[in-house]
Amino acid sequence: MKLFRNLFTLFVSLYFSLCTANSQLTETERLDILKNLDIYNSVFKELSLYFVDSIAFEKTIHENIDFMLQRLDPYTEYIPEEEMSDFMLQTTGEYGGIGAIINSDSTKIFISEPYEGMPAAEAGLIAGDVLLEINGESLANKKSDFASERLKGRPNTKVKIKYRRIGEWTREETITRRLIEINPVTYYGVLPSNIGYICLSSFTTHSARSVRDAINDLKQNRGITSLIIDLRDNSGGVVEDCIEILNLFIPRGQTLLTMKSKAPLPDKVFRTLQDAVEPEMPVAVLVNQMSASASEIFAGAMQDLDRGTVIGNRTFGKGLVQTSRPLPYNGQLKLTVAKYYIPSGRCIQAINYSHRNEDGSVSNIPDSLTHIFHTAKGREVKDGGGITPDIIVENKQLPTMLYYLDGQNIFFNFAVEWRQKHPKIDSPETFVLSEETYLEFISYVKSKDFKYDIQSEKALDRLKEIMKLEGYMDTAADEFKALENLLKPDLERDLYLYRDQISDFLSTEIMRQYYLAKGEIIYSLRNDDGVKKATEVLTGR
C-alpha cells in the first residue's frame, strides 16, 4: 500500500500547488480536480486488491502520466529521480563521468567518441573500443543506457572498465571520474578573408562565456573582421544564455524577446543590459531545419533587428518556452509555460497543439494562415513555421543507401578497423580519401552482407498495385518489367554511382576517429555550401 500512499501524496501535492498557483480556478473546478484525483487513486487501489493478474503499478502509473502529458505537447514531460542526471546534462552541459559517448548495436556496447581532454581519452580509450565489464558487472546482452548509467557518478570516484580493442587483447583501466563540462562551442577558427567561424552546438549555462571567449580570441589574436555563427542542428537550450550572446552584438536597451504566459504568471521581457562587444562587426548566422528554440530566438532577433544575415533552410518552428517544477520524490515536471515573441512581434511556433485533428494528430500552420511583420528596416518577415532565412541554401539530396550504411554502423566500423592499420593520416585541412581506401571500403561492405532498400523501388511496388487495379499491367508488362529490373538495388553499381557522397561521409567518419568532433567540422568546412554563401555575403562578392 506504500505505492498508493505515495501516489496519493503526489496527486494531493499537485492539486494544492495548482490551487495555490492559479487563483483563476473556480471552486467548482477545484472540486472537480480533487474528485478525479481521488477516483484515479481509488481505481489503482481496487486493481491492487482484486485484479486477477499481477500489475507493474509503478510502470503503469508512469506510462499514464506520460500519456497525459504527451496529449498536451511533445515538450511537457515527467522526469523521475533516476533520469535527473540526463535532464541536468541538457541544461548545464555538465555531469560526473569519464567523458565519452557510448553506443550499442545488436552484439556489443562500444565507445562512439571520447571527448577531447577528458578522463576516457586521457586513459587511452578510443572510438570502437568494446566495453565488456564495468566494476566487474558484465555488459553482455545489455544496452548503451545501462553502461552509461554505470559510468556516471560523483566526481573523484573511480570506475573499473574492462574493454577490448579490435584486433588486440582485452584491457582493463581504472578511471577517476571528473565533472564533465561539455563545451557548447564545438569548434572555432578563421576562414579565408579573415572571417571568423564559431560552431555552437547548444545553449547551456556556459555557452555565453564560451562564445565570448571565442570572439575575443578570434578578434584580438587572429584578426577577424567578420563572423559566421553556425547554429545548424542546434536544438536550443537556456534562453538566458541566448540573450547574453545576442547582447554581444546588439546595443544596450533593445527588446529581444517577450514571453507571454497564462495568468498568474506575468509576461516576461528580455532586453540587452550591457553595451555590445561587437555592435558593428558583420555577422552571418547559419541555420537548418534542426535549428530550434533558443537557436531560433537568436537567428530571429538578428534578422528582426537587421543585425545579421540568416542563411540556410527554414528552422524547426518551436516558439514555446519550458520550465521545470519540483515534484515529490525528487522528480521534476518540465512543462510549457509560455509562447515567445521576437523583436518584430512574431511568434514562430509551427504547430498549434491546442487544436488537434479528430484522430488526435496535429499539423503545421499553413503558409496561408501566417501573418506579415516587419524588421527594423522594414523588410517583410512572417510568423509561424520557424525562421525563413534571408538567403536559402538548398539541401543536397542524399541517396537512401547512405542512411542504411550509416544506420547499420558500416561507416563507423570500417573507420575503426581502418585506423588500426593506419596510425597516422593527413590533417583535416588536407586529407583526401584515396582510391585504394575506397576500394577497401567496397570490399568491406560486400563482406558484411549489406542490404538496403531504395525509395524508387518502393514507389514502383505501389505503382504496380495501381496498374493491376486499373488494368494496365497486361498492356505494359514488358515495359514495367524492364523498369523494375533497372530499379532493383545493385550494391556494386550503387557504390560507384554514389561514390562522391559516400566518400564524403566516409571521410568525415575517419576524421572523427582521428581528430574527434573538431576534425570532422574542419574537414566539412572545406565543401560547405552554407559557409560558401556566408563568405560571399560577408566579403561582398
Active-site residue numbers? 293, 304, 318
SS3 content of the chain, % helix, strand, coil (to 5): 45, 20, 35
One-letter amino acid at 387 equals I
Q: b/e map of 214-240 (b: 16 or more CB within 10 Å)?
A: bbeebbeeeebebbbbbbbebbbbbbe
Quickly tell me which residue has 548545464 as its cell. Answer: 92
One-letter amino acid at 107 equals T
Q: Is 423 exposed, middle or buried (0-12, 13-18, 19+ CB in 10 A)?
A: exposed
The contacts of residue 408 (CB under 8 Å, 6+ apart) are 448, 450
Distance of alpha carbon 280 from the chain centroid? 31
C-alpha cell at 385: 513555421
User: Are the CB atoms for 384 and 345 separated by under 8 Å?
Assistant: no
Q: Within 13 Å of residue 132, how many CA atoms lie on the same side as its CB?
A: 10
Q: How many whole angstroms separate alpha carbon 245 and alpha carbon 236?
A: 13
Does the CA dihedral 312-316-317-322 come out positive or negative? negative
Going from the C-alpha of 135 to that of each of 85, 99, 157, 175, the distances in angstroms are 20, 17, 12, 11
One-letter amino acid at 524 equals S
Q: Is 474 exposed, middle or buried (0-12, 13-18, 19+ CB in 10 A)?
A: exposed
C-alpha cell at 340: 515567445
Q: How many whole angstroms separate alpha carbon 435 and alpha carbon 437?
A: 5
User: Are the CB atoms for 348 and 317 separated by under 8 Å?
Assistant: yes
Quickly tell me which residue has 579565408 as its cell. Answer: 192
Helices (H) and strands (E) in the chain, counts: 17, 21
